[in-house]
Amino acid sequence: MGIEKKRIKSKEQTTKNKEVGKSKPNLSVQIAGLKLRNPVLTASGTFGYGEEYAEFVDLNRLGAIVVKGLSIAPKPGNPPPRIVETPSGMLNAIGLQNIGVRAFIKEKLPFLRQFTTSVIVNFFGDSADEFVEAAEQLSSAEGIHGLEMNISCPNKQAGWCIFGTDPTIMSEVVSAVRKKTDLPLIVKLSPNVTDIGAMAKVAEDAGADAVSLINTITGMAIDIRRRRPVLANAIGGLSGPAIKPVAVRMVWEVRKAVKIPIIGLGGIMSADDALEFLIAGATAIAVGTASFINPLATIQIIEGLERFLDEEGVTDINHLIGCLKF
Ligand SMILES: Cc1cc2nc3c(=O)[nH]c(=O)nc-3n(C[C@H](O)[C@H](O)[C@H](O)COP(=O)(O)O)c2cc1C
């Protein structure tokens, strides 16, 4: 059947469904014991602490809100310039600027508690001890439904190597945090590794309830007139549509390597992009850079998923997860 004919038929079907009052397809998914109303999350660092977007987005419609990464002590981040646009993406070297765990609990969490949407807190540390301390404090606060460990940061005690690129160091920090929290624990994987499936397995074996991937891919841009890096930090993290094919491939590889659920992200701009991740094996997805361009991206993606299911006659989004034929 030609694409146009198929579209017309789908449209007819959608109208028919509405006419006969057919129920809406199920969009709800489960991640690490958390029941989410739909699989669309916000990506850490691109949606502030939720409050910043509340004027544009009904936060009650989101699957979950993942907040900006927090550390025990507040951090000012890197000096500017710390953002540069690149073809089909952007490089950032924000340097994990944040208000700190205590200020988040006191000043930001009360706002988020007004909503029925699950709150997932992204956090990091300069050492395994800092990770553990942050996890303990966050676990005792009311209104946090899950933790996401950002292991794409350097370990001061291990010569500044990145937690998430060394399997031994990664295993130690995930195990240490696992012992101190009963909250669903998501480990956010770094894509800057050779074998992402093996790293996901390390996280699973160390006690992670789920993995999220991918974080940004390290990159660099050069100002040719000044013969200097564009970013004050020289190196930054690449995000946006440019990284989507890498992220989809990694989700597919991780799906084959572990049993725990996957949150897929990296360059998702539309419902079609989100569907690629779900079909590759992600149970949920997160929207990052897209929210900078279009603050309504999350909501439009939720609506687009619903439309797709309707058109395809799929009653439950879970039927699409990992359904890739190969
Ligand atoms: C400005 C900016 C800040 C970010 N801050 C964090 C962070 O604090 N913690 C984290 O785990 N990831 C952080 N990320 C990574 C995103 O959550 C996401 O993994 C990445 O951008 C890929 O998704 P995207 O292409 O949809 O943006 C940040 C990304 C950007 C662009």
Pick from 47, 71, 289, 294 the residue to mutate for probing ligand 1's pocket: most ligand atoms within 8 Å of its CB.
289
- Percent of residues, the chain, with pLDDT higher than 70: 94
DSSP assignment of 84-107: EEETTEEEE-----B--HHHIIII
CA distances from 49 to 78, 115, 256, 268 (A): 19, 13, 33, 20
Check: CB of residue 296 under 8 Å from CB of residue 57.
yes
pTM for the full predicted model? 0.94
Q: Rounded to whole angstroms, how far apart are CA atoms 71 and 57?
A: 26
Per-residue pLDDT, averaged over 101-129, amounts to 97
Per-residue pLDDT, 107: 98
Per-residue pLDDT, 155: 82
Per-residue pLDDT, 118: 98
* Residue 286 Cα: closest atom of ligand 1: 26
Catalytic-labelled residue, pool 40, 153, 268, 309? 153
Per-residue pLDDT, 161: 84
Ligand 1: list residues with CB < 6 Å: 43-46, 68-69, 92, 94, 96, 122, 150, 188, 215-216, 239-240, 243, 265-268, 288-290
Check: CB of residue 216 under 8 Å from CB of residue 192.
no
| Model confidence pLDDT, tens digit, residues 295-304 | 999 999 999 9
| Model confidence pLDDT, tens digit, residues 204-239 | 999 999 999 999 999 999 999 999 999 999 999 999
Pick from 216, 276, 285 the residue to mutate for probing ligand 1's pocket: most ligand atoms within 8 Å of its CB.
216
Q: Rounded to whole angstroms, how far apart are CA atoms 291 and 303?
A: 15
Average pLDDT over the chain reads 93
Query: Does residue 194 carry a pLDDT above 70?
Result: yes
pLDDT-derived band at 20, boundaries 50, 70, 90: low
How far is the first Cα of the chain from the last one, in angstroms, to the nearest whole number?
22
> Which pairing describes strands 262-265 and 154-155: parallel, antiparallel, or unpaired?
unpaired
